[in-house]
């Protein structure tokens, strides 16, 4: 009898220790605090081991409409790194759509894997079924590590996908339009910094040689800019440099180039303490997302160094402008015209920043937040159920309350 009582006490003590250990583990688990900090609505973890799928879908805000944002495939060093990336990217999409005047919310997805070796039709079709299960709260598109082929595979399982091939009625690869928006943003920045938006003769260092970077380099080459190109895939960078009569630079040396404009067009977080201590330029305007490693600190640091920063999510919005056009029936000319407005948007942001003594990214954030808040207030007005008949976008419309 005593043994049984002792055993019961022993079990109770063991359970108490386990609960205490779990409690301590939860204190160290920062997922929900991160969600609260970023303001996300929903996170979806997608796992199908039999096809190698490990993905995260993040829906940040759907005030303006269904969340739309690309799917990125990348060999993240850890699951935590993947989560951090998708949280930052999806939040950026909310602001990008808002500042661009789109009736869309912000979302993003990441697939953990090597885009060079881990792709398969079944992996992307499985991912497409997870997207479809969200019923239109998230609409996906092409991002880093993805091509039209993968979007076509996803399209096999869901209608909530954009950037599908033109042969299927889509807009195809959004990279050329994204690059055009970056180019427009760069010209607006030159207008602010130099009094003229001409880029002829300007020394522009482009970090990256992917789809957006290569198209941007072609725009710059046509205008007569002096171009420097780098990429971790050196042969790719050398090929682009040769095509645009530019100069290849080793990735480790790009921050030390004698340049007027720096254009990060690869991964984010590249403007950090180390980069700012080395870089010397007048303008930073690139197509990558989340270029500033610390939005507040490094935004202020750039002002202290007299460097004009064009908010990345503003000038790289050409891609989402392009793919969002698919929801209404794609028209390439209309998409390019909308993207061209980035020029005026950037100048408005610079004016707001100057008038209110804030950084350009702070100014852009405020303007985007003002639009989101205005629409949120508008939704307090009752509206009966409505939809659009005969519109290609009808499948994306939702009941309004």
Residue where the block lists tokens 């064009």: 310
Is residue 132 within 8 A of residue 158, CB to CB? The reply is yes
Is residue 249 within 8 A of residue 228, CB to CB? The reply is yes
Phi, psi of 229 (to 5 degrees): -125, 140
User: H helices of 106-246, where?
Assistant: 121-133, 148-155, 175-194, 211-223, 234-243
Pairwise CA distance, residues 362 & 368, whole Å: 10
CB atoms near residue 311 (< 10 Å) = 31
Burial class (CB in 10 A: 0-12, 13-18, 19+), 23: exposed
Q: Is 277 helix (H, G, I), strand (E, B) or coil?
A: helix
Is residue 327 within 8 A of residue 396, CB to CB? The reply is yes
- Spot the catalytic one: 54, 96, 108, 119: 108
Q: Which two tokens stand for residue 252?
A: 């480790």
57, containing H or E segment: strand 53-61
Q: Is 42 helix (H, G, I), strand (E, B) or coil?
A: strand
Please compute Rg for the chain using Cα positions.
23
Phi, psi of 72 (to 5 degrees): -105, 135
Is residue 55 within 8 A of residue 109, CB to CB? The reply is yes
Is residue 169 within 8 A of residue 155, CB to CB? The reply is no
108 annotated active-site: yes
247-248/226-230 β-pairing: parallel
Pairwise CA distance, residues 106 & 275, whole Å: 29
Q: Is 374 helix (H, G, I), strand (E, B) or coil?
A: helix
Q: What residues are annotated to the active site?
A: 108
């Amino acid at each position: 009898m005593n043994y049984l009582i002792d055993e019961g006490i022993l079990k109770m003590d063991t359970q108490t220790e386990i609960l205490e250990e779990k409690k301590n583990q939860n204190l160290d688990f920062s997922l929900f605090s991160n969600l609260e900090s970023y303001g996300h609505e929903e996170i979806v973890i997608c796992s199908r081991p039999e096809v190698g799928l490990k993905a995260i879908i993040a829906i940040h805000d759907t005030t303006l409409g269904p969340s739309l944002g690309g799917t990125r495939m990348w060999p993240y060093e850890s699951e935590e790194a993947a989560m951090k990336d998708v949280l930052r990217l999806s939040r950026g999409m909310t602001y990008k759509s808002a500042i661009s005047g789109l009736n869309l919310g912000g979302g993003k997805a990441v697939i953990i894997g090597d885009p060079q070796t881990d792709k398969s039709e079944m992996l992307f079709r499985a991912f497409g079924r997870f997207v479809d299960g969200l019923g239109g709260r998230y609409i996906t598109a092409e991002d880093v590590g993805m091509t039209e082929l993968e979007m076509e595979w996803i399209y096999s399982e869901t209608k909530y996908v954009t950037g599908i091939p033109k042969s299927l009625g889509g807009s195809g690869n959004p990279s050329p339009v994204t690059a055009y928006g970056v180019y427009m943003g760069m010209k607006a920045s030159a207008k602010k910094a130099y009094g003229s938006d001409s880029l002829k003769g300007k020394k522009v260092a482009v970090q990256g040689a992917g789809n957006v970077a290569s198209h941007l380099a072609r725009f710059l080459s046509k205008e007569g800019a002096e171009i420097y190109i780098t990429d971790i895939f050196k042969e790719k960078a050398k090929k682009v440099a040769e095509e645009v009569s530019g100069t290849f630079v080793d990735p480790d040396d790009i921050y030390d180039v004698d340049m007027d404009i720096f254009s990060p067009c690869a991964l984010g977080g590249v403007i950090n303490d180390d980069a700012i201590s080395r870089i010397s330029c007048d303008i930073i305007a690139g197509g990558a997302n989340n270029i500033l490693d610390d939005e507040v600190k490094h935004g202020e640091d750039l002002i202290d160094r007299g460097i004009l920063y064009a908010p990345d999510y503003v000038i790289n919005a050409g891609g989402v402008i392009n793919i969002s056009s698919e929801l209404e029936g794609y028209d390439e000319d209309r998409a390019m015209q909308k993207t061209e407005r980035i020029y005026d948007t950037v100048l408005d942001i610079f004016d707001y920043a100057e008038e209110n003594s804030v950084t350009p990214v702070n100014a852009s954030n405020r303007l985007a937040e003002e639009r989101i808040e205005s629409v949120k207030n508008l939704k307090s007005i009752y509206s009966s159920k409505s939809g659009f008949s005969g519109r290609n976008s009808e499948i994306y419309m939702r009941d309004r309350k």
